[in-house]
Amino acid sequence: MGTTSGPLPLLGERATSNGLSAVPAFVAQGRQTGQESSGHHNRNFVLPVTEQVARILGKEAGTPVTVRIPREGALPVVIRTWRNEAEILDALKGKLPLVPECLYRGDGFAVHSYVEGVPLSSLCEYGKRVDTSIIEAQTELIAQAAPVPRTALPPLPSTWPAEDNDSRGFLRVLAHMADKQIRQRNWPVFGALFTRLGVPADALGRYAEAVPEMTSRPFGLLHCDLHRDNQIVSYGDDPPFANVDWELASYGDPLHDLATHLVRMRYPDDQWDDVKSFWSRAMLGVRPRATDGMDRDLGHYVDFERAQSVFPDVIRAAKVLEAACDQRSLDVATASVRRALEAAEKPLKLRNVPAEEEIEEILCQWRFDHCADPSRIWRGSAGPKIRWTLERHFPKRPDFPAAFIHKALEREVRAKDKDVFRDATHSNTVVRVPGFDRPVVVRRKLAEAPRTGGSHVGEHTVLRAIEESGAAVAVPRVLAVGATRPYYEFAIHTYEAPRGNVPPHHSVGWLSPQQANALIDQCAALTEVDTRRLDPVACEKGFDFFGWAKGQLVDMVSQLPTRSRQLAEKLGLPDAEALREIMRPWTVSHRKPALVHGNLSLLNLVPSDHDLELTIVGWDMALVGDPLYDLIRHLYLAGSSSGIRELMIDRWRRRLDPQFTTNMVDDWPVYWNMEVVRSAYVELDRVVAGEAANAFSGRRTEDSYAWILGAATRALGLRPPRPVNPLLFSALR
């Protein structure tokens, strides 16, 4: 089926009369319900087209498309050669693989064809090493763009070099464009800030005039924004890789594209030579002269990228502070501005780059001058008044009165960034309260807390039950539970970390034999906690905990986002109903229920100097059920060695009452297989969601997703997956 070419009618009577109003209506609905993937300059929504819209676009109903909507109020912080991305995409049609196609241009939005796959940033986070097979595929794709002729592209600005190999002229044009499009447009608002930071108004102009003689290289098409979010690892292997978001594309010296790629990918320093080597090899095959003078001239383009970046980086930091009024935001903005100034210091010949303390003062003053409500500034005032209420069902503690609670919440607002850390589900701020003998931690649940499935006993209720039981289990004490206004839940716990380390230090690799024994002893003590008040249903004689656990796993898979389910299918994992049928024969023996932590990864085990060796934290997944579930989940999440595993299983059998250990030798492999399968879906979902930094649940780093996937398919009795695109597995290593 064909596709619509050229600009289509915009909103209005013409669009309504011929049915084209269906597209804007489709976009408006998608903004409310679609899956959003936010880029730097646009909000992107992936939507399946309706039948009416499919006819207009020349696609089949249900075909996914990408709706791109410019960010409202976005400041000009990028260099643009062309204003219309659709014209760039039209010029690229048939010349490069998997380039998105502009299907419809409306008033304030565009509809593009959807490129199936996973952003490289989801598979391999910024700053981490990139597999060499990925680098090779990237550089080959960059090289394929070089031969696209000038005549195939939209008209260039009149300021462009007359000769299509004037590298020095091209770099000077870039510097003048950055000055005109970024610096000049933002100077009325941010000029005073830049001046106080030591960046003069003529910095880019002086840079342009100082560009030295450079080797002539033939011009070609440049992407100019090749970072990890804009590179897609496709599901198939023909082709295996694609570049998207061409709105900043240009035409000029190919070394500029290499330089922006090197800087924006945030490769580790020791990978730069690999990237340059692969790029040279790819270019020699299509445009040999593009590598001339590379060793001498690449540094000029890298310097320019760092020079012009000082403007968007400082502006973005300042904009964050317009809406923020806490010390942590100030710390982050200060560090960001400092990095930008240090990177630009040499190429822009900046003098007297301010120290971090001075940058902080400059940002504070700028925010005070531009804040709509100066009384909310955190410097020189009492700051915003904190209003809070306590959870009425949670008893007050005489050792932590209301004055202590208020002081803890006040200090949370003013806490330094170094005193804040995140776990999988909470933001934690460590503060000291005058009059209380130890640090406390203010815990706030994250809005983006991961999907775990199932109903769990409340964390605060569990911790209070353990404390009241007198069981020999080391856990934080709950000091207060409530909400600040507007309604925002908080909990205050004792902070359990030797010497007050933030974040707390965890065991590395796996537990020592002494720590492993201590953990088993604490799990045995958990069986003494009265579970009838925590979850009476789970304590009923006929309750099938294992059947419930299987059902929770199936429900979790059914509720995964569409993109996660699609990728799981591509990699050979069954859908929810197929998984239910495969696991139907899996059974375990009934054991007496007990309090179960539910997530005994190393991240939730804090080595301590008390007799119990470890403090167990992170009780937000606690439940009442088969205690063997807790042991096997720990062994899997901690990646324990076979020796530690055998030691812990043997001690478990000896320390727990027989009613908690019936047939455990036969049953523990069943629980193990369920954890392997769960991990395959959970980690894949984290990858697709761009949470690679939190992936693999605290397991040893050598356990790649490819290993997890292979283990899961074997546990399910399926044929080991054959990768559709080998680069997917390379990126997941």
**Three-state SS across 416-435?**
CHHHEEECCCEEEEEECCCC
pLDDT score for 381 = 44
With beta carbons less than 8 A apart as the criterion, state whether 371 and 322 touch.
yes
Residue 69: which H helix or E strand, with range? strand 64-70
Q: Of the ranges 86-100, 279-293, 322-336, 436-450, which is most confident? A: 279-293
Check whether the bond before 401 is cis (ω within 30° of 0): no
Least confidently predicted of 439-453, 569-583, 669-683: 439-453
The model's pLDDT over 712-729, given as tens digits with 9 standing for 90+, comes to 999 999 986 665 677 776
Q: Do the domains 120-370 and 505-731 sit in the same CATH topology, yes or no?
A: yes
Q: For residues 95-112, b (16+ Cβ closer than 10 Å) or e, as one string?
A: ebebbbbbbbbbeebbbb
Instruction: Give the pLDDT band (50/70/90) at residue 553.
Output: very high
Query: Does residue 374 register a pLDDT over 50?
Result: no
Return d(Cα 191, Cα 185) in angstroms, integer: 10
pLDDT score for 39 = 58
Q: For the chain, give every domain's residue range.
A: 13-71+99-114, 120-370, 388-499, 505-731
pLDDT score for 421 = 85
More confident residue, 370 or 297: 297
As a whole number, mean pLDDT of residues 302-321 equals 93
Domain covering 120-370, topology: Aminoglycoside 3'-phosphotransferase; Chain: A, domain 2 (3.90.1200)
Instruction: Give the pLDDT band (50/70/90) at residue 365.
Output: confident
Q: Which residue has the tokens 């397991």?
A: 699
Q: Of the ranges 55-64, 260-269, 328-337, 639-648, which is most confident? A: 260-269
Selection from 362, 370, 204, 332 nearest residue 353 by Cα: 362
As a whole number, mean pLDDT of residues 401-417 equals 89
pLDDT score for 435 = 93
Instruction: Give the pLDDT band (50/70/90) at residue 160.
Output: very high
Angle at the Cα of 566 from the Cα atoms of 560 and 572, rounded to 5 degrees: 105
- In this structure, the number of other CB atoms found within 10 A of the CB of residue 421 comes to 15
Instruction: Give the pLDDT band (50/70/90) at residue 695.
Output: very low
Query: Does residue 645 register a pLDDT over 60?
Result: yes
Instruction: Give the pLDDT band (50/70/90) at residue 40.
Output: low
| CATH superfamily, with its number, for domain 505-731 | Aminoglycoside phosphotransferase (APH), C-terminal lobe (3.90.1200.10)
pLDDT score for 542 = 80
Which residues have a Cβ under 8 Å from the Cβ of 545 and sit 6 or more positions away? Answer: 538, 593, 625, 626, 629
Query: Does residue 30 register a pLDDT over 50?
Result: yes
Least confidently predicted of 204-218, 490-504, 608-622: 490-504
Pick the CATH number of 388-499 from 1.10.490, 1.10.10, 3.40.1350, 3.30.200: 3.30.200
pLDDT score for 699 = 44
More confident residue, 108 or 385: 108
